[in-house]
Amino acid sequence: MRMYDIIKKKRDGGTLTAEEIRFWIEGYVRGEIPDYQVSALCMAIYYRGMNASETTDLTLAIRDSGDRLDFSAIHGVRVDKHSTGGVGDKTSLVVAPIVACLGARVAKMSGRGLGHTGGTIDKLESIAGFRTDIGGEEFIRIVNENGIAIVGQTASLAPADKLLYALRDVTATVDSMPLIASSIMGKKLAADDDCIVLDVKTGSGAFMKTVEESRALAELMVEIGCRAGKKMRALITDMDRPLGAAIGNSLEVIEAIETLKGDGPADLTEVCLALATHMLVISGHGDEETCRADIRRVIENGEALATFARMVGVQGGAPAWIYDTGLFPKAAYTYTVSAPRDGYITRADAEGYGIASLLLGAGRNTKEDKIDYAAGIRLAAKTGDYVRKGDPLATLYANDERLFAPAEARLLAATEIGAELPAARPLILDIVE
């Protein structure tokens, strides 16, 4: 078998076999197939696409390129939630403890943020002492004893995906549906969960900009998961505006805690309730009405918050911070961004807001950048709100006052104010089963 023939076959619109796909994935991971040939194949896939069988075979080859986790020693139904990424998206911090305290097992591996979207691991590490580098046996023990653990992804998990993503990032082949789907699902399937709910974001702050693109991606990933024997469901949720009011690591943890207490922003609460409900439904807890009622109960009686605090303590963090968010370190400086004119906020470009937070130090441009956990943005007005000139739009947080001017300029450029109230847009745009 030759890589040349595989490239030519896909270039000419042919369908690759499982054997051909495994040949080039395994050869690339071993260093036997050079970047330039894999780049050529990725470009051929970008233009010619892949059918569902090819994409599934690619996903499984990526899954099998490194370690596959064995969670069979975890007692109970294992359920996970994966988001395609967005601005202010702290839903994992809310839904995971809710679902865990209602009996499902959440053995979750999450990633770090890069660019304008935040990572769950970075947010959790804003809590003093919190450990995300927990090994396999300890990880399983924690999940069995407490129902939940959230840790970072290991370097040996799906190494083909890391190599392919780095290559796609510099060859203009990132936005290919089969390559995106196989990247996400290759990592998910390596983690040995029974049930997976996907939160596929759509809009300016998401990778997929239209509902149609997001639906196609969701359908493809659900099909891949089902072919691999998993129970799958996908929600398509709006990311044309930031989710919640907080953008930035410790600010988002605090907002997640407020949501677990029942005092969170309405939009964040709605999305979290929907995700948690569907996670419980596909894990066999009950029908939607029963699951939603149970979710409200564990929020109201404090069980969900207690589960989160217990997870923090078991993983080396300070549970006291969960019950007293005033213990989180504060940024040295704050700055209020004011509305430049009267009118309705007709659009709050989520990507622009995420970049403004990045400029304050809350994110990374490269994997080596150091995050300022206290930096970020708290919104005072959102899409659909009426503001008068001089009203606060947002408060910026930073440990260097020089960062405020570029962040303010970026946030204002991302905020459109007009005379007409914008049409309402639902948060849950579609469900794919």
Instruction: Just list the catalytic residues.
Output: 82, 161, 168, 183, 187
Q: Any alpha helices (H) in 67-131, and if so which ranges?
A: 91-101, 120-124
With vertex at residue 54, the alpha carbon angle to CA 48 and CA 60, rounded to the nearest 5 degrees, is: 135
| Bridge partners, 80 (sequence order) | 196
Can you say whether the dihedral through the CA atoms of 221, 224, 228, 229 is positive or negative? positive
CA distance 188 to 95: 17
What does the DSSP assignment read for 294-347?
Answer: HHHHHHHTSHHHHHHHHHHHHTT--HHHHH-GGGSPPPSEEEEEE-SSSEEEEE
Identify the helix (H) or strand (E) that includes residue 235. Answer: strand 231-238
Write out the two tokens for 336.
């209020």
The alpha helices in 190-248, defined as continuous H runs, are: 211-227
Largest CA distance in the chain: 68
Instruction: Please enumerate in sequence order all residues whose Cβ is within 8 A of that of 127, keeping only pairs 6 or more positions apart, or say none.
Output: 250, 253, 312, 317, 318, 321, 322, 328
- In sequence order, the 6+-apart residues with CB closer than 8 A to the CB of 317 are 124, 127, 128, 129, 130, 131
Strand, helix or coil at 415? strand
- Cα(122)–Cα(113) distance, rounded to whole angstroms? 7
DSSP string, 249-281: HHHHHHHHHHHHTT-S-HHHHHHHHHHHHHHHH
> What is the Rg, in whole angstroms, of the alpha carbon atoms belonging to the chain?
22
| DSSP letter (8 states) at residue 243 | S
